[in-house]
């Protein structure tokens, strides 16, 4: 019984194993077929995809060929443009390098200018420096006006007035021994001390007004006569006078009332040009007077020479008359006796009869000598 159960169990196990093997083989075959079918489907799909891609690549190649043919000239233009841009970049780089060098030079010049400006301000901080600057500007202006030192103007002329010893910077000589006095000691204290523009202009106007007051008290016109009752206060910059006039509008009128003429380089040049023109007119007048005097002298000498010519002509006429009388006396008195001596054989030389002169001197016939009223002249000598 036990053995039968064991056999039955064994048979059952064998059957189960056999069924499992069969089922496993079937499942394996089915899976293999499914995998093979799947591979076939995938292969077909891949082949279709490759075919589609091949067609797409061929189409793309055709389009690329067409694009290449169409884009070829554009590529050449782009290449030329790239070369041109490269050249422009190089030129721009060169320009930037030159600009950097110019900026560096400009910075150096600016530094030198600042140094020079500082030196100029230092030099102008003293009265002597301001005076030298004004004198240099004044001398340049008189040279531009065409004037000559010691003829048209004199510098640093000393004189004495009721106010004491004075020495103007320049004295302009006018026709008729007149003079114009010029002071070139420019007051610049306001611009030296103030940093703000408005404050500097106000300080400059006050400095100029103080200088005008000091000049009016010196009375330069008393030392140089004849001289107009004013002195020219020369400011070596048009900007100084303009700034002072804008800050103090009554400054110029008050200065004129005090006998001080405020002059910038432009206005002083106009004044000196007028003086030079007056000198030219004076020279022309003097030359005309000299010509008039010479003409009068020449006329007097012509009258004297005419009298001498007239007397000489009269003398020559008398000499001709005396000669003719001598010839007549010679022919009528001397020759008959001489011929008688020749007839006696004293000499074989023939005697020649002298001829009388039939011409007279030519008189002055011009109407200035009254020749129009004279009778026609005889044959000339």
> 246 with 217: CB under 8 angstroms?
no
Look at residue 72 in the predicted model and tell me its pLDDT. Answer: 65
3-state secondary structure (DSSP) of residue 260: strand
Q: Of the spans 63-77, 105-119, 205-219, which averages the highest pLDDT?
A: 205-219
d(CA 366, CA 31): 164
Q: What is the DSSP string of 168-193?
A: -SEEEEETTTEEEEEE-----HHHHH
Q: Of the spans 133-137, 278-282, 288-292, which averages the highest pLDDT?
A: 288-292
> 185 with 211: CB under 8 angstroms?
yes
Question: Where residue 380 falls among pLDDT bands split at 50, 70, 90?
Answer: very low
Whole-prediction pTM value? Answer: 0.46
Structure-model confidence comparison of residues 243 and 119, the more confident one = 243
Of 261, 285, 280, which is closest to residue 148 (Cα–Cα)? 280
**243-253 mean pLDDT:** 86
Of 208, 209, 229, which is closest to residue 219 (Cα–Cα)? 229
Percent of the residues in the chain that have a pLDDT greater than 70, as a whole number = 79
**3-13 mean pLDDT:** 71
Look at residue 371 in the predicted model and tell me its pLDDT. Answer: 53
Structure-model confidence comparison of residues 85 and 197, the more confident one = 85
∠ CA 52-58-63, nearest 5°, is: 125
**109-116 mean pLDDT:** 77
Question: Where residue 347 falls among pLDDT bands split at 50, 70, 90?
Answer: low
CA 212 to chain centre: 35
d(CA 25, CA 32): 10
- Tens digit of pLDDT for each residue in 199-240? 777 787 888 888 888 888 887 877 887 878 888 898 888 888
Q: What sign for the dihedral angle of Cα 167, 172, 174, 176?
A: positive
Of 360, 357, 359, which is closest to residue 324 (Cα–Cα)? 357
3-state secondary structure (DSSP) of residue 166: strand
3-state secondary structure (DSSP) of residue 345: coil
Give the pairing type, strands 178-183 and 231-234.
parallel
CA 355 to chain centre: 85
Average predicted confidence (pLDDT) for the chain: 76
**63-71 mean pLDDT:** 69
Respond yes or no on whether the N-terminal peptide bond of residue 338 is cis (omega within 30° of 0).
no
pLDDT at 23 over 50: yes
pLDDT at 379 over 60: no
- Tens digit of pLDDT for each residue in 357-375? 777 677 666 666 665 444 4
pLDDT at 156 over 50: yes
**45-61 mean pLDDT:** 77
Look at residue 367 in the predicted model and tell me its pLDDT. Answer: 67
Q: Which two tokens stand for residue 251?
A: 């400054």
Largest CA distance in the chain: 247
């Amino acid at each position: 019984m036990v053995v039968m159960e064991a056999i039955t169990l064994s048979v059952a196990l064998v059957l189960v194993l056999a069924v499992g093997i069969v089922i496993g083989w079937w499942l394996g075959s089915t899976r293999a077929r499914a995998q093979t079918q799947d591979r076939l489907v995938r292969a077909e799909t891949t082949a279709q995809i490759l075919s589609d891609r091949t067609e797409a690549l061929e189409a793309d190649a055709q389009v690329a060929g067409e694009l290449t043919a169409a884009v070829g000239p554009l590529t050449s233009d782009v290449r030329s443009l790239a070369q041109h841009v490269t050249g422009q970049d190089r030129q721009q780089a060169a320009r930037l390098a030159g600009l950097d060098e110019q900026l560096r030079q400009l910075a150096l010049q600016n530094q030198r200018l600042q140094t020079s400006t500082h030196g100029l301000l230092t030099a102008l901080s003293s009265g002597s420096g301001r005076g030298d600057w004004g004198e240099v500007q004044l001398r340049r202006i008189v040279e531009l006006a065409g004037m000559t030192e010691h003829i048209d103007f004199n510098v640093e002329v000393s004189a004495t007035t009721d106010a004491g010893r004075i020495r103007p910077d320049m004295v302009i000589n006018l026709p008729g021994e007149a003079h114009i006095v010029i002071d070139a000691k420019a007051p610049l204290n306001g611009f030296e001390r103030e940093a703000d523009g408005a404050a500097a202009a106000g300080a400059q106007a006050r400095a100029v007004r103080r200088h005008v007051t000091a000049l009016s008290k010196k009375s330069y016109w008393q030392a140089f006569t004849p001289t107009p009752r004013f002195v020219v206060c020369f400011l070596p910059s048009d900007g100084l006078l303009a700034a002072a006039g804008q800050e103090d509008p009554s400054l110029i009128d008050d200065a004129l009332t005090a006998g001080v003429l405020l002059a910038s380089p432009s206005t002083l040049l106009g004044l000196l040009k007028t003086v030079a023109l007056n000198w030219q007119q004076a020279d022309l007048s003097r030359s005309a007077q000299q010509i008039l005097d010479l003409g009068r002298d020449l006329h007097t000498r012509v009258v004297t020479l005419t009298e001498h010519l007239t007397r000489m002509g009269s003398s020559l006429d008398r000499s001709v008359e005396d000669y003719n009388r001598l010839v007549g006396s010679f022919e009528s008195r001397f020759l008959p006796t001489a011929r008688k001596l020749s007839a006696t054989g004293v000499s074989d030389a023939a005697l020649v009869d002298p001829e009388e002169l039939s011409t007279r001197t030519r008189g002055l016939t011009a109407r200035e000598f009254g020749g129009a009223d004279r009778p026609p002249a005889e044959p000339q000598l």
